[in-house]
Amino acid sequence: MKTYIYPENLRANVKLWFWSVRDFIIICTGVILSVVSLVYLLNILPAAATLCYAFVSFRPDENSILDFIVTAFRFFCTSQQEFKWQQKGEI
């Protein structure tokens, strides 16, 4: 009888090297488009954008710079902030 060990009861994110699978597919597609753009159009901007995305989505553990940027954008721009003011002594 074989014993299979699954990470965290199948709740862990799937990672391929240091990226999630979704990010890895985006990076591979970006690399292919960047090479085509560089060869035919002599344009390096798609390669720079792909490299920046690969750096930002790099996740050595469960956190990445991209997650932080998305969370900060949601906090400061898209979610409503509510502040309650009261006098000293009021409860």
Q: How many domains in the chain?
A: 1
Domain containing 54: what range? 15-78
Domain membership flag for residue 86: no
Measure the CA–CA gap between 56 and 73, rounded to whole angstroms.
15
Among 52-56, 62-66, 81-85, 87-91, the least confident range: 87-91
pLDDT at 3 over 80: no
Quick one: pLDDT at residue 61? 77
Q: At what angle do helices 65-73 and 45-56 cross, to 10 degrees?
A: 90
Q: What's the confidence (pLDDT) of residue 11?
A: 64
- Asked if the structure places residue 52 within a domain, the reply is yes
